Structure 1
Amino acid sequence: MKFFIRSFSYIFHPLFMPLVGVLLYFYISPRYFNPEFLYSKVFATVIMTTVIPILSYFMLKNLQLVTTIHLKEVKERRWPLLLQMLFTFILIRLIFDGYEIPELYYFFVGILGASTGAFLLALLKFKASLHMIALSGVLFFVVGLSLHFGINLLLLIAGFIFACGATATSRLDMRAHTPAELVVGFIVGAVSQFMVYSYWI
């Protein structure tokens, strides 16, 4: 049972959530996209949000700036979050055009805002849950897509609400966070997406 509960921390890892958001957008959107265009955007997202951050982790570990991939200490989060902000900024500037795909453009603007919020909290020695930031960000992005396209996505939204609860339980079971850190993480992710709603919905 303990293994099952803890598995949610790995299934819904923050590294995968930007890609999940992009894939959900292309699946949900009623707009037609050229397959080559779609694949290029997904590939760029994989490279910038998953592959390069993983490679960056090993670089930071060799420099003794982090000790484990779990980033248990608050001070260990600062460099990874700074790099996350840089990679997200590159995606916004070079990959997702605000006029071409405004939904994904502002999704990543929201992610940049959430990363900045998490970084500032880390400077204040507060360890907001990155899992909850990422999950609540995707949850509110899906809510935005439902409003934007006028599509009933209640089952998907309910699924993400369940995922948030299960992942929060997992993080508590692993003693990775306090309840306050989980709540603040959820709020940071949700507010960051909610604040950009008016630009694309």
Structure 2
Amino acid sequence: MHVKPAQVISVLFHPLLVPTYALLLFINLNTHFVLAMPMQVRYLMTLLVFLTTFMLPALILLILRKFDVVKSMEMPERQERALPLIIVSAFFYLTYYLLKQMEQNSIITLFMIGATMLILLCLIINYFTKISLHATSWGGFLGALMGYSLNARVDVMLWLYAIILITGMVATARLILKAHTPAQVYGGFLLGSISQLILFYYV
């Protein structure tokens, strides 16, 4: 893989887009909770998650970039990651809260509270060392789907293969771009996958 494809992969599978991808997957699984969900609710949830976990946080990050609070959208320096992580965690928790108000017993609400917890863990780790947010996010997605599959006895094997492939591509891209060391990428993947696997399996 060359640098240009690695950059494209990093953008297409940006951590802020993971909740939207997760929602689109979960609401298309042939499960009881999905079949009982009105189509209008699915559309509303998709719009809400895309707006509050991607559009608004991305807009604020662009504003921070404009005022040189962060040097780039990639946030290569550990010291400049704290404020964006706090902002994103607030938006993720807001998404969780709004979804709860819709009174949908949704795995998406569980995913959002798990994602919020992951960001806060990354914030704590960030005070000591960098960790790959890309690898953490996609590891979390993979762990959540595995935990849900084991808990609900749902066959999602093809989706698991797809997410494993994407996670591998994303991890490789981050290494090619020299955005992280292998330890930071592998550590992020393990943090995300193990924590979300436990959350979705036992809750």
- TM-score greater than 0.5 by the shorter chain: yes
Whichever residue aligns with residue 97 of structure 2, its letter is R
Match of 2:176 in 1: 173
- Contact 2:14 2:134 survives alignment (8 Å): yes
Aligned partner (choices 88, 92, 96) of residue 92 of structure 2: 88
After the TM superposition, which of the residue ranges 95-104 and 34-43 deviates more from structure 2? Answer: 95-104
5+ long unaligned stretches in structure 2 = none
Q: For residues 59 and 90 of structure 1, do their structure 2 counterparts lie closer, same or farther at Cα, with a shift above 3 Å needed?
A: same
Determine the C-alpha separation between the residues in 2 that align with 1:122 and 1:5.
24
Structural mapping, 1:1-201, within 5 Å: 1-2=1-2, 3-30=4-31, 31-96=35-100, 100-124=104-128, 126-200=129-203
Cα distance, 1:154 vs structure 2: 1.4
TM-superposed CA distance for 1:198, in Å, is 4.6
Q: Over residues 162-189 of structure 1, what are the superposed CA-to-partner deviations in whole Å (9 max), with x where a residue is unaligned?
A: 2222211111111100001001111221
> How many residues of Structure 1 are paired with residues of Structure 2 in the alignment?
199
TM-score (norm 2): 0.90
Equivalents in 1 of 2:135, 2:105: separation in Å? Answer: 26
* C-alpha RMSD of the superposition: 1.9
> Structure 1 regions of 5+ residues with no counterpart?
none
Whole-Å separation in 1 of the counterparts to 2:103 and 2:151: 15
- Offset of residue 32 of structure 1: 2.3
TM superposition shift of 1:156: 1.3
Residues 88 and 111 in structure 1, CA contact (< 8 A), matched pair in contact too: yes
Distance 1:35-1:79 versus aligned 2 partners, 3 A rule: same
Which AA in structure 2 matches 1:139?
L
Q: TM-score, normalised by structure 1?
A: 0.91
The Cα of 1:161 is off from its aligned counterpart by 1.3
